[in-house]
Structure 1
Amino acid sequence: MARTRPRPEGPPVKLPDTGRRVLVSGASRGLGRAVARAFAANGDLVAVHHGTRAEEARATLASLDGTGHVLVGGDLADPAGAAAVVDAAVEGLAGGIDVLVNNAAVNLPHPLAETPYEEWAELWRQHVAVNLLATANLSHLVARGMIDRGTGGRLVNIGSRGAFRGEPDHPAYGATKAAVHALGQSLAVSLAPYGIGVASVAPGFFATERVAPRLAGPEGEAIRAQSPFGRVADADEIAAAVLWLASPAAEWASGTILDLNGASYLRS
């Protein structure tokens, strides 16, 4: 039978406003890069994770304000790879992680009517492994460190508007992001006694290098028209919300799923 670890005595140490140690998964470009920059500009130390895009991750690292940031590579779809990433981040960030941002994700099209079964099954496997299981595994590894140190901390998950409105061409993406939201709420309840806040953001469409051709092409106008503001978000706007959810002031927002879609999708 597994041994139950005792809870630390007394209240956990409160997180500082700056100088925290932050691991951002999938930070080689796009939103991950914007999030890493937001924390670095706030005076925090950042571990920039990448899977295969090492050169782009180095560019992210070079763009960060301040010093002491580190680069960590690894395959998060492999549980051992996720553990190695956390170990490297802990070592590089002076012995601990105070904030985890679960940003790494797969989002590949696979509409059911047009996707052969073998391809369908493999794409579902990839989405579950990266979007859901890697998020769960990183959360366990980082939160266990927070519990053992008695320091408290923050976990922030990057979900999606698609978890609520559906993703007909990317059903595994929508389903796994819905699961990420549910995971975050479960962890928010279980980890609160240790001073660990857990929250998620659910962005709508936002501009990155990856989607720039779509925004510049024929469908760009329709994408911007999804919001009554007539535009899409900037990645920095999403990153600013992540930074706040990871702050000491946001403890009471633990368990929330923050919609960031410019009123393009309203849920009850």
Structure 2
Amino acid sequence: MSRVLVTGASRGIGRAVALAFATNGDRVAVHYASDIEAAQRTRELLPGEGHALIGANLAEPDAAQRVMAAAVEALGGVDILINNAAVATSPRTEHSIARVDYAHWRQIWRQMLEVNLLGAVDLTYLFSRHLIDRGAGGRVINIGSRGAFRGEPDFPAYAASKAALHAFGQSMAQALAPHAIAVTSVAPGFIGTERQESKLAGTEGNRVRAQSPFGRVGTPEEVAAAVLYLASPEAEWASGSILDLNGASHLRT
């Protein structure tokens, strides 16, 4: 049994990842930023006992310390960290340079970098020191994005934050390997979460599905299955890798 901290686990990919670990017999700390009702629903869905809820906005300066301390206390330690929390792409966070003013541009860039990158950076530091001080190995898995490679013209801060997260993960893979800590990232394409239901049901749905030659979008469960593998003992040699999960909608060279 492993003890797992999943950030941004109130819904979508985070919820699916938390459910996959709990179904595997692991104990899970479900982190959420503000939607406690959705987080409680995630907790209710998890089989097994000993799971925990932890609320904090990772953009706040001391949030990472509070989250890690609460997870360690609730679970008796943490063995696996899933950096999933992010300010997502949405009409509210769109910041095409031709359509927003400078104040909005600056606000979105700082909001996305604080949560998507620096929140994960801080948690990775605290988690790694927790493992090193215990003399234990572990896993860090970052949830990145296809957008880090193909670009996001309407959401450049999102793409940049995810590209930086991938690069950070590769640096940490080299830095932490001597401590038996493996670090990987996954880069999903379009995933059919609850947040995307209206988009997929509308006129844009067919265009989104046509991005992949499979003619569909990915599921949170497919991302969760990949994360579960990367967290396994058998996946240590994958450390430093970035796993594309986009249904061949974008091919890197």
- TM bin (shorter chain): over 0.9
Q: Which residue of 2 aligns with 1:214?
A: 199
* TM-score normalized with structure 1 length: 0.92
Q: Which residue of 1 aligns with 2:79?
A: 98
Cα distance in 2, alignment partners of residues 133 and 30 from structure 1: 21
Q: Is the 8 A contact 1:228 1:263 kept in 2?
A: yes
CA RMSD of aligned residues (A): 0.5
Find the partner of 1:43 among 20, 25, 32: 25
Cα distance in 2, alignment partners of residues 103 and 79 from structure 1: 18
Q: Which runs of 5+ in 2 are unaligned?
A: none
Q: Percent identity?
A: 61
Find the partner of 1:260 among 230, 241, 245: 245
Q: Which residue of 1 aligns with 2:180?
A: 195
Q: Which residue of 2 aligns with 1:119?
A: 104
Matches within 5 A, 1:1-268: 19-94=1-76, 96-107=77-88, 108-268=93-253
Q: Which amino acid aligns with 1:188?
A: A
Cα distance in 1, alignment partners of residues 231 and 164 from structure 2: 21
Instruction: Compute the displacement of 1:157 (Å).
Output: 0.1
Instruction: Compute the displacement of 1:172 (Å).
Output: 0.2
* TM-score normalized with structure 2 length: 0.98
Instruction: Compute the displacement of 1:151 (Å).
Output: 0.9
Q: Which amino acid aligns with 1:217?
A: G
Q: Is the 8 A contact 1:79 1:137 kept in 2?
A: no
Instruction: Compute the displacement of 1:141 (Å).
Output: 0.5
Paired residue total = 249
Over residues 163-191 of structure 1, what are the superposed CA-to-partner deviations in whole Å (9 max), with x where a residue is unaligned? 00000111000000000000000000000
Q: Which amino acid aligns with 1:52?
A: S
Q: Which residue of 2 aligns with 1:4?
A: none
Cα distance in 1, alignment partners of residues 154 and 17 from structure 2: 27
Structure label with greater radius of gyration? 1
Q: Is the 8 A contact 1:189 1:255 kept in 2?
A: yes
Instruction: Compute the displacement of 1:79 (Å).
Output: 3.0
Q: After the TM superposition, which segments of 4 or more aligned residues of structure 1 sit over 3 Å from their partners?
A: none
Instruction: Compute the displacement of 1:218 (Å).
Output: 0.2
Q: Which runs of 5+ in 1 are unaligned?
A: 1-18
Q: Does the residue aligned with 2:249 lie in a helix, a strand or coil? A: coil
Over residues 207-255 of structure 1, what are the superposed CA-to-partner deviations in whole Å (9 max), with x where a residue is unaligned? 0010110000000001000000000011100010011001101000000
Over residues 100-142 of structure 1, what are the superposed CA-to-partner deviations in whole Å (9 max), with x where a residue is unaligned? 0000001221111001100100110100100010010000001
